[in-house]
A = this chain, B = another copy of it.
Amino acid sequence: MEDIKAYVQQHKDRFINELIELLKIPSVSADTAYSQDVIDTADAVKESLSKAGCDFVEICDTPGYPIVYGEKIIDPNLPTVLVYGHYDVQPPDPMELWTSPPFEPVIKKTEIHPEGAIFARGACDDKGQMYMHVKALEYMVQSNTLPCNVKFMIEGEEEVGSKSLGWFVERNHEKLKNDVILISDTGMISNQQPSITTGLRGLSYVEVEVTGPNRDLHSGLYGGAVANPINVLAKMIASLHDENNHITIPGFYDKVEELSLEERAEMAKAPFSLEKYKKALDLNDVYGEKGYVTNERNSIRPTLDVNGIWGGYQGEGAKTVIASKAFAKISMRLVPNQDWEEITELFVKHFTSIAPAGVTVKVTPHHGGQGYVTPIDSIGYQAANMAYTETFGVPAIPVRSGGSIPIVALFEKELKSKTILMGFGLDSDAIHSPNEHFGIFNYLKGIETIPLFYKYFVELSK
Interface residues of A (CB under 8 A from B): 29-32, 90-91, 93-94, 97, 159-161, 187, 201, 203, 205, 207, 212-228, 230-231, 233-235, 237-239, 241, 281-289, 294-295, 297-298, 301-303, 305-323, 326-329, 331, 333, 356-358, 360, 366-367, 401-404, 427, 430-435
Contact = CB atoms under 8 A, between A and B. Distances in A.
Contacts of A309: 230, 233-234, 309-312, 314, 326
Contacts of A367: 318
A215 B326 CA distance: 25
28 contacts: A30-B316, A30-B318, A30-B319, A31-B316, A160-B317, A203-B220, A214-B282, A219-B331, A220-B404, A221-B403, A223-B305, A224-B289, A226-B286, A226-B287, A230-B308, A230-B309, A234-B238, A234-B306, A235-B237, A285-B358, A287-B358, A307-B312, A307-B313, A307-B323, A309-B310, A313-B329, A314-B329, A319-B432
Given A226-B281, A307-B321, A310-B311, 19 more contacts: A30-B317, A90-B321, A159-B319, A207-B318, A213-B281, A213-B282, A215-B434, A218-B431, A218-B433, A230-B305, A230-B306, A230-B307, A283-B358, A287-B357, A287-B358, A308-B313, A318-B366, A318-B367, A321-B433
A32 to B, nearest CB: 7
A320 B431 contact: no
Given A30-B315, A321-B432, A427-B221, A306 B94 contact: no
Given A215-B97, A321-B432, A357-B285, A315 B220 contact: no
Contacts of A207: 318
A129 to B, nearest CB: 14
Contacts of A358: 283-287
Contacts of A160: 317-318
A220 B159 CA distance: 12
A224 B281 CA distance: 15
A403 B220 contact: yes
A201 B218 CA distance: 13
B225 A297 contact: yes
Contact of A331 (B283, B318, B356, B357): B318
A357 B315 contact: no
Contacts of A307: 219, 230, 312-313, 318-323
A99 to B, nearest CB: 11
Contacts of A230: 237, 305-309, 328
Contacts of A331: 219, 223, 318, 320
User: What 3 A-B pairs come out closest when comparing CB atoms?
Assistant: A224-B303, A220-B403, A30-B317
Contact of A222 (B93, B97, B328, B402): B402
A317 B33 CA distance: 12
A4 B3 CA distance: 101
A295 B214 CA distance: 19
A228 B318 contact: no
Nearest to A217: B433
Contacts of A29: 317
A310 B306 contact: no
Contacts of A233: 234, 309
Contacts of A327: 314
Nearest to A222: B298
A187 B260 CA distance: 67
Given A218-B432, A303-B224, A318 B329 contact: yes
Contact of A221 (B161, B314, B402, B435): B402
A295 B224 CA distance: 10
Contacts of A430: 215
Contact of A356 (B287, B310, B323, B366): B287
